[in-house]
Structure 1
Amino acid sequence: MNFRSRILGTAALALVATLAPLTANAQSASPAKPAAEAAAVDQRWVWDLTKLFPSDEAWDAERKAVLADLPELAALKGTLGKDAKTMAAAFEKMSDVGRRLERLWVYASTQASTDSRDARNQERASLMRQLGGELGSALAWVDPEVQAIGKEKVESFIKAEPALKNHAFRLRDIIRTAEHTLTPEAEAALAAVSPVLTASGTTYNLLATVDVDWPSIQVDGKDVKLNQIGYAKLREHPDREVRKNAFNTFWTKWKQYENTFGSTLGTRIEAGVANAKLRGYKSAVAASLAGNDIPEEVYRTLVAEANNGLPTLHRYFKLRQKMLKLPDLHYYDIYPALVELGKEYPVDMAGELTLAATRPLGDEYQGMLKQAISERSMHVFPAEGKRSGAYQTGVYGVTPFVFLNHQNNFDSVSTYAHEWGHGMHTALANKNQPFETADYSLFVAEIASITNEILLSDFMLEQAGSKEERLYYLGHALESMRGTFFRQTMFAEFELATHDAVQQGEALSGKKMTEIYCGLLKKYHGADQGVMNIDPAYCQEWAYIPHFYRPFYVYQYATSMAASAYWAEQVETGGEKVREQYLNILRAGGSQYPYQLLKKAGLDMATPAPYQALIKRMSAIMDEMEKILNDKT
């Protein structure tokens, strides 16, 4: 998951909406290591944040310096229309502050991710939210003023002044969104309160990772704490009774906080709906998609095609039941591997396999990736207070940082390849774009990462030395499609339903969210068709998903899964021209709107075709697995 944000105009708010990165592409994770053990970890696997600031004191000094410079930005108000050079100078000053704030933010957010227990990390996060609010207020006048200057005059300035070249996309985007921009006073007010309105995500993270007294259960004679990390590990346990006990214990604990998590998420949803109404959008989803000029048809077509493809998903569940030799299927039977290989994949091996799998992407990509992973650019292993999951974050001009919770299993290798897909996207965009257009949309971000996962999967299938190993990698690919396409689309439907409820004036409580989510769980998992039993206790899962605090984000995993399947096949079979076409998408950064960028490259995500092709690929994998199973009998 990519979390970089450029700070230009009122885009400052995007940076601080949820300061600390959310769990992405959740992977298996064992209980965290004790602090003493974590401290003994080889420093190669602990990122070096001195690339950003030599000390916490240096970070705080820079924060104060940026804060002191904000009045200078506010003083630019009323000057943009004077002439082209004045406009260029003003936008250059904004860019300078953006670069500085990005560095501050990445330093603070990475610290918060690696140890949520440290009060200093929480304080830095709070200070960054405050700074984001201050910056948003200082720049709230920019969009209305540019819009008042008008399209014709802005275009004449761009033509006359070369220094505006890097800012042209931003300026034209401001003009595009004129009808949804408020008065300078209203924009300033919204900017000032936005950190408060979006702070519920931070509250969720602290409650879920630090404050909840997570229970423990006995597994193989040992106590295992059922926090989010422990649950992620035990849900894959080969013993069905252990999985069932883990699910029952874990979700019972979440049930105790149904009202609290209902309040935190409800507040975030209400803020999104209110913002859409204030800005004149017909819905919260329309407001969210408008930022990157993505047609709402993309979202609606995705949901419709995923629903049309549910028989294929249900076929996978039946195959899973058959391979696991189960009399029936429950929600706690989704995660165990279909085939146990008994192989370990240390982090060094993860790097070697990722490099080997991405050879089709060419020498430039390989060289940049090899250099990046040789530096202290990763935080690799679990530790007390460290968040689960994985993400990539970056600062312009600095090797990207990758956050992992590596286990010696293939899931961790896949996650490694995924996050370095983001890392190379960031590196290629930074190499080919100025700061102002290097940051890419979330809509294309996941394409770079999931394409790497598919390339890895295909590489491992080529190397498989037995039918069992081939079944393992085919099963892993199926599970990736389930988790990335169908599960994320189910989340997207949940977001639609909850936001629609608020827009229609309905009360939205934790209990109501549980009811909505339960209906979706049953639909996607074929409860009415007898495919899978859904225990009502597990319908608390909505409260566990941190992505919901970034509204209308998760659908992009699903669209990207479909797009990545297309691009991986093209790169593997299409030669140098197709490879360069794909890499040019990554090199483009944010210099074009993402939907149009893909469409120009031959992929229209508003049509059913990409999603139908992915579902067809899923069916083909099951055909091969069933053939192997039949040949073995």
Structure 2
Amino acid sequence: MTPILPDERLRASFHSTGALRWSAPVQSKIPCWRPLCAAAVLACLSGLSLHAAATQPTTRVRAEIPAEFRWDFSAIYPDWAAWEADMRVMDTQMQAFAALKGSLRRGPAALLKAYRAYDEIGKLSYKLYRYPQLQRDVDSRDQAVAGRLQRISALFAQFEAATAWFTPELLALPQARVRGWIAATPALQPYRFTILDNFRRQAHVLDEKGERLLALAGPLGQAGDNSYDALSTADIQFPSITTSDGQTVVLSPANYGALLERNPNQADRAAAAAAHVGNYGKTANTYAAIYEGILQRNWFLAQARGHKTTLDAALHANDVPRSVVEALIEATRAGTAPLQRYARLRKKLLGLDSYHLYDGFLPVYRSSQTYPYARARELALESVAPLGPDYTAKFRQFVAGGRIDVYENEGKRSGAYSAGVYGVGPFQLLNYNDTLESAFTFAHEAGHAMHTVLSYEHQPFVTSDYTIFVAEVASTTNERFLLDTLLARTSDPRERFVLLEQAVDAIVGTFYTQVMFADFELQAHRKVEQGEPVTTEVLNGLYAGLLKTYYGDALAHDDFYKFTWARIGHFFNAPYYVYQYATCFASSAQLYSAMTTGSEASRKAATERYLTLLKSGGNDHPMQQLKKAGVDLSQRSTVQAVVDQLDALVTQMEAEAARIGSR
């Protein structure tokens, strides 16, 4: 599934009071991006045996699904009365914090008091938000829960207004004086990174009048996002086609994806792709006008804050150099040979005269294997053994029951995610259906959950929340460990091919496709920065050109795919976001290699560095955290590790295909 964009927009607003680094609860709701598709004391869980049967329920009635496969909300609050009581507590704490305005100049004790007060409110916010949000996500029909969620969202907005004084007041203090306070006050050490990082950002903070003007312009800046959402969701009419067997299919995103994956008739897949993607082309001029407005907004904000480019502005918060994204794109463009080789292999094995993008979803071989939840849980637990007994024990405790909402039910939201509650731990949402894809999704989300467990255990609240820049490292690393376990369990070439195809598709979807997207939006932004027009024709040309750059002649290039940019919500709702999926994947590839190759001593050292990364939360800039773990994203070798990994996997696929053909 794609990242949860409404939460991404909330996250941006919650970080406006950056000097306090308050990680609002949505920050640690780590969404799942997978190609087909942010000290926690965990309560004593049910002790459910990992060997218990876990057959997918036939019912979609939530109350009829066994309790061990549903969330236990009592770890957050025993009931709504307790939630209401904490709502009143938070209101009192907010008023007390607002009363601290003007106190920071009094010295380190006053600064410490403000940060500690903010921490208490932040911890409480996690519980207040998650309790209704999680319940809303498993039953969106419950209007009482929806109303409570609106109440807490309104309370957050009030708090943002009540604390707007803090950042300007902190930055008005001489930095040297504040550094002296930190050095002389041990209790301020947990806040050192947060405080000094805000002074780093100070060069791009405007005066009070300027910040007020930008704040007033905020709603105008959301107009493009909102227009895109309305056009692509509320107002869109999906086309229908009649397939070769006489069935009429309405090509909604879900139906479209299912048809490409399951329909063996290439003509049907071609007709579906032309109709679905071409549907966006019918209103491409409107999409282009919206996108041009978003690009202009981003360039305006970058210039207003004194950044040289929109990319610099987007990377500033995490202190990521522009060269990281530029090098990522350059190295990936140079490493497309394995991607094209994979496309040619699929064309050959599928027996196609020509290979198109719409052929990329059809499995070459189908497996009769099923992966009931109990089996997937055991496999995932077995697979993380290389991370050591402590990690394994914590993993076992997490999956024991109450923290994973496993199966689909009526009213439950789709997809998968991991959501943290500081002081309680992570909660994981699934819609498990016994497929290999579900097994990998479980391992992926469990990687996020364990990242949260380790971060909460080892970090104070102020630095407990990790950035998206490192979040997908833990999830994709766990997927690779699961792949190793599954491959070790079978010698059947067909089953091994299916597993390898799963891994390769992950690289294609999470790395190459995301870099291509990042390449597109960087080029589009640069056109605006250089005063060049951004029309439908220009955007179509950019996207079609990138498809040819990345796939070369391994792909037959259909003209209608030039409109694909119009259906990529990230371009409109979260500019300069997708590159992080690729950097995370590149990081995990290098870390995995270090943990699984070389001498025993080097593997052990690499594993310790990796676990230290997971324990570090947000206590440093993400580039520095990854460097400590052994990954330097400024070096092309990091990206090359992904290229090499794909090349090796395709080689394995060719070998397994040869074994299948010789039978």
Out of 20, 24, 37, the position equivalent to 2:32 is: 24
Between 46-55 and 485-494, the greater mean CA deviation after superposition: 46-55
Residues 337-394 of structure 1 deviation map (CA, whole Å, 9 limit, x = unaligned): 2321121112222212111111101111111111112232233344566554322221
Residues 1:85 and 2:109 are matched in the alignment: yes
**Which amino acid in the other structure matches residue 498 of structure 2?**
Y
Residues 1:438 and 2:446 are matched in the alignment: no
In 2, Cα distance between equivalents of 1:266 and 1:123 = 36
Between 423-432 and 567-576, the greater mean CA deviation after superposition: 567-576
Whether the 8 Å contact between 1:10 and 1:140 is mirrored in structure 2 is no
Pick closer, same or farther for the CA change 1:503–1:369 going to 2, 3 Å. same
**2:610 matched to which residue of 1?**
582
Residues 1:500 and 2:526 are matched in the alignment: yes
State the SS of the aligned residue for 1:341.
Answer: coil
Between 56-65 and 367-376, the greater mean CA deviation after superposition: 56-65
Residues 1:46 and 2:74 are matched in the alignment: no
Whether the 8 Å contact between 2:490 and 2:496 is mirrored in structure 1 is yes
**1:235 matched to which residue of 2?**
260
In 2, Cα distance between equivalents of 1:223 and 1:11 = 56
**1:540 matched to which residue of 2?**
564
Whether the 8 Å contact between 1:12 and 1:135 is mirrored in structure 2 is no
In 2, Cα distance between equivalents of 1:151 and 1:73 = 23
Pick closer, same or farther for the CA change 1:194–1:123 going to 2, 3 Å. farther
Distance apart, 1:304 and its partner CA: 0.4
Whether the 8 Å contact between 1:380 and 1:403 is mirrored in structure 2 is yes
Pick closer, same or farther for the CA change 1:596–1:12 going to 2, 3 Å. closer
**Which amino acid in the other structure matches residue 576 of structure 1?**
K
**1:375 matched to which residue of 2?**
401
Pick closer, same or farther for the CA change 1:503–1:133 going to 2, 3 Å. farther
Distance apart, 1:153 and its partner CA: 0.9
1:149-548 alignment to 2 at 5 Å? 149-187=173-211, 190=214, 194=218, 197-198=221-222, 212=236, 214=238, 226-239=251-264, 240-255=266-281, 258=284, 269-382=295-408, 386-505=412-531, 513-526=539-552, 529=553, 531-536=555-560, 539-540=563-564, 542-546=566-570
Between 82-91 and 513-522, the greater mean CA deviation after superposition: 513-522
Pick closer, same or farther for the CA change 1:495–1:167 going to 2, 3 Å. same
Distance apart, 1:457 and its partner CA: 1.3
Out of 616, 622, 631, the position equivalent to 1:594 is: 622
Pick closer, same or farther for the CA change 1:561–1:52 going to 2, 3 Å. same
Whether the 8 Å contact between 2:428 and 2:445 is mirrored in structure 1 is yes
Q: TM-score, normalised by structure 2?
A: 0.84
Pick closer, same or farther for the CA change 1:146–1:422 going to 2, 3 Å. same
Residues 1:550 and 2:574 are matched in the alignment: yes
**Which amino acid in the other structure matches residue 415 of structure 2?**
G
Whether the 8 Å contact between 1:372 and 1:399 is mirrored in structure 2 is no
In 2, Cα distance between equivalents of 1:441 and 1:78 = 31
**1:10 matched to which residue of 2?**
18
In 2, Cα distance between equivalents of 1:14 and 1:191 = 19
**Which amino acid in the other structure matches residue 432 of structure 1?**
H
In 2, Cα distance between equivalents of 1:60 and 1:507 = 53
Between 231-240 and 204-213, the greater mean CA deviation after superposition: 204-213
Whether the 8 Å contact between 1:166 and 1:434 is mirrored in structure 2 is yes
In 2, Cα distance between equivalents of 1:439 and 1:318 = 42
**Which amino acid in the other structure matches residue 627 of structure 1?**
A
In 2, Cα distance between equivalents of 1:345 and 1:598 = 34
**Which amino acid in the other structure matches residue 622 of structure 1?**
V
Residues 303-357 of structure 1 deviation map (CA, whole Å, 9 limit, x = unaligned): 0011111222111111111121111111111112232112111222221211111
How much identity, in percent, do the aligned residues show? 33
**Which amino acid in the other structure matches residue 417 of structure 1?**
A
Distance apart, 1:523 and its partner CA: 2.8
Residues 276-300 of structure 1 deviation map (CA, whole Å, 9 limit, x = unaligned): 2222111222122121111111111
CA RMSD of aligned residues (A): 3.6
Distance apart, 1:248 and its partner CA: 3.6
Whether the 8 Å contact between 1:28 and 1:229 is mirrored in structure 2 is no
Distance apart, 1:7 and its partner CA: 6.2
In 2, Cα distance between equivalents of 1:127 and 1:263 = 35
Q: TM-score, normalised by structure 1?
A: 0.87
Pick closer, same or farther for the CA change 1:595–1:530 going to 2, 3 Å. closer
Whether the 8 Å contact between 1:228 and 1:388 is mirrored in structure 2 is no
Between 58-67 and 149-158, the greater mean CA deviation after superposition: 58-67
In 1, Cα distance between equivalents of 2:490 and 2:322 = 42
In 2, Cα distance between equivalents of 1:254 and 1:559 = 29
Pick closer, same or farther for the CA change 1:211–1:42 going to 2, 3 Å. farther
Distance apart, 1:562 and its partner CA: 1.5
Pick closer, same or farther for the CA change 1:90–1:21 going to 2, 3 Å. closer
Pick closer, same or farther for the CA change 1:363–1:135 going to 2, 3 Å. same
Question: 5+ residue gaps in structure 2?
Answer: 38-56
In 2, Cα distance between equivalents of 1:45 and 1:160 = 50
State the SS of the aligned residue for 2:491.
Answer: coil
In 2, Cα distance between equivalents of 1:429 and 1:436 = 11
**Which amino acid in the other structure matches residue 229 of structure 1?**
A
Whether the 8 Å contact between 2:101 and 2:165 is mirrored in structure 1 is yes
In 1, Cα distance between equivalents of 2:292 and 2:409 = 31
In 2, Cα distance between equivalents of 1:37 and 1:52 = 24
Pick closer, same or farther for the CA change 1:124–1:264 going to 2, 3 Å. farther
Whether the 8 Å contact between 2:371 and 2:435 is mirrored in structure 1 is yes
Pick closer, same or farther for the CA change 1:443–1:469 going to 2, 3 Å. same
Between 469-478 and 569-578, the greater mean CA deviation after superposition: 569-578
In 2, Cα distance between equivalents of 1:52 and 1:188 = 37
Question: 5+ residue gaps in structure 1?
Answer: none
Whether the 8 Å contact between 1:22 and 1:547 is mirrored in structure 2 is no
Distance apart, 1:162 and its partner CA: 2.7
In 2, Cα distance between equivalents of 1:171 and 1:295 = 21
**Which amino acid in the other structure matches residue 593 of structure 1?**
H
**Which amino acid in the other structure matches residue 342 of structure 1?**
S
Pick closer, same or farther for the CA change 1:125–1:155 going to 2, 3 Å. same
State the SS of the aligned residue for 1:401.
Answer: strand
Pick closer, same or farther for the CA change 1:500–1:596 going to 2, 3 Å. same
In 2, Cα distance between equivalents of 1:433 and 1:8 = 22
Residues 125-157 of structure 1 deviation map (CA, whole Å, 9 limit, x = unaligned): 665655444433333332332222122111121
In 2, Cα distance between equivalents of 1:128 and 1:249 = 42
**Which amino acid in the other structure matches residue 587 of structure 1?**
K
In 2, Cα distance between equivalents of 1:335 and 1:181 = 46
